[in-house]
Amino acid sequence: MIFLVKGRLATLADAVVKEMTRFAIPPESSREAGGILLGHYRGPHVEILRCTTPMPSDRRTRFGFVRQDKGHQDVATKEWQASGGAINFVGEWHTHPERHPTPSWVDRRSWRRQMARPERDPLVFIIVGSAAVYCEFGVDGKLTAMGRVSH
Ligand SMILES: [Zn+2]
């Protein structure tokens, strides 16, 4: 899956789309799900190769997902080490109980906070609905909508 805005590409490996989508359809879709995105930067582009999925200490409710299990960071560290630093944390994803997802004000506030760190690497924020994937790019402290792609 490919998102392109202003010369920037965000590509998602098929396996990642498949894994995330599984949580946006029944029976998993009764509660929101999420995780982190792992991949690498190529110039202005981001290639997403892996994602984590909900872990036992995460909080999943009908209209919310709070990632609080340490396991996500552990996976990121392991992948980073195993790849000799080529695979990094590049963003996060969560599901919404809607077909064509739109970020909530809570999502935007959280993304803005993450982008506020000075010299923060670009981050990709994904929301997965039952029919489409929404993508937003955070670069230089600013968020840019990348649009929606059907899955
Ligand atoms: Zn949300």
How many whole angstroms from 110 Cα to the centroid of ligand 1? 10
Q: Residue-wise pLDDT tens for the chain (151 aa)?
A: 999 988 999 999 999 999 999 999 999 999 999 999 999 999 999 999 999 999 999 999 999 999 999 999 999 999 999 999 999 999 999 999 999 999 999 999 999 999 988 778 899 999 999 999 999 999 988 999 999 999 9
How many whole angstroms from 87 Cα to the centroid of ligand 1? 25
**Domain coordinates in residue numbering, the chain:** 2-150
The architecture that CATH gives domain 2-150 is 3-Layer(aba) Sandwich (3.40)
How many whole angstroms from 103 Cα to the centroid of ligand 1? 5
Choice among 19, 32, 92, 136 that is catalytic: 32
Exposure on the CB side of residue 60, measured as CA atoms within 13 A: 21
pTM for the structure as a whole: 0.95
What span, in angstroms and rounded, lies between the C-alpha atoms of 22 and 141? 31
Sign of the dihedral through C-alpha 94, 96, 97, 100 = negative
Asked whether 95 and 125 are in contact (CB, 8 A), the reply is no
